[in-house]
Amino acid sequence: MLRTPRSRTRLVALAAACATLSIGAALAAPATASAAPPNVKVSCEASGQIHFNPGVKLFTSDQDVSYQGQEGQCNDFSKFDIRSAKLTASFIGVPLGCVTSPGSGAGKGSGAIEWTDKSGETDRSILNLQIDGSSLNTGHLSGVVSKGRFKGHSFTATLKTSLLGGAAACTVGLPAGGLKDADFKGDFSIE
């Protein structure tokens, strides 16, 4: 087939039009769904039981620490209709003792938040966490939502145990192998 200058011009124009359409379609494609939703601010009450294994003793030793939360009320400042939430978290090898030195009580762990909205529907967030140089009486947790609702947003919590008298109350569990359980109260937020 013999091509004339006119047919070559048409082929070049057709190729240019196809290239323009391809570029336009690529630019108009939606962004990936992995981006975190903007303007998230939810804060919730937290309470429940904290467990120490093998048991906190007078001097610092590594403890596996788990927070088993109960459902607490939430303030949803971002209009996601969150009514309540329950926090659980666990850490392995956290150095704690009834008489702790500065800088002890730090470690990495994981957690989850079970959300309940105003219609009763539930959802979940999975957390990568760290406990930041806490004492036996106060845990400062921080991290990020790694999976589920609010993925990519930051998490912070301050959780206090009910050990009246501080280190003196801690030593009550010494004869039985150390302090193993205590109540906690506090709050957490996602932003």
Cβ neighbours of residue 157 closer than 8 Å, sequence gap 6 or more: 46, 87, 139, 140, 141, 142, 186, 187, 188, 189
Split into its structural domains, the chain has a count of: 1
Query: Is residue 14, in this structure, part of any structural domain at all?
Result: no
Res 110 pLDDT > 80: yes
Cβ neighbours of residue 140 closer than 8 Å, sequence gap 6 or more: 131, 132, 133, 134, 156, 157, 158
Query: Is residue 135, in this structure, part of any structural domain at all?
Result: yes
Query: Is residue 10, in this structure, part of any structural domain at all?
Result: no
Query: Is residue 21, in this structure, part of any structural domain at all?
Result: no
Query: Is residue 8, in this structure, part of any structural domain at all?
Result: no
Q: What percent of the chain has pLDDT over 90?
A: 50
Strand ranges in 34-178 using DSSP code E only, listed in sequence order: 42-56, 61-69, 72-76, 82-96, 107-117, 122-131, 138-148, 154-161
pLDDT for the residue numbered 57: 83
Of the pLDDT bands very low, low, confident and very high (cuts 50, 70, 90), residue 155 is very high
Q: For residue 156, give its domain range.
A: 42-190
Cβ contact 148:123 at 8 Å? yes
Instruction: Check residues 10 and 56 and name the one with the higher pLDDT.
Output: 56
Query: Is residue 74, in this structure, part of any structural domain at all?
Result: yes
Query: Is residue 6, in this structure, part of any structural domain at all?
Result: no
**Predicted confidence (pLDDT) per residue in 59-98, tens digit:** 888 999 999 999 999 999 998 999 999 999 999 998 888 7
Query: Is residue 1, in this structure, part of any structural domain at all?
Result: no
**Predicted confidence (pLDDT) per residue in 161-177, tens digit:** 865 445 555 666 566 67
pLDDT for the residue numbered 32: 40
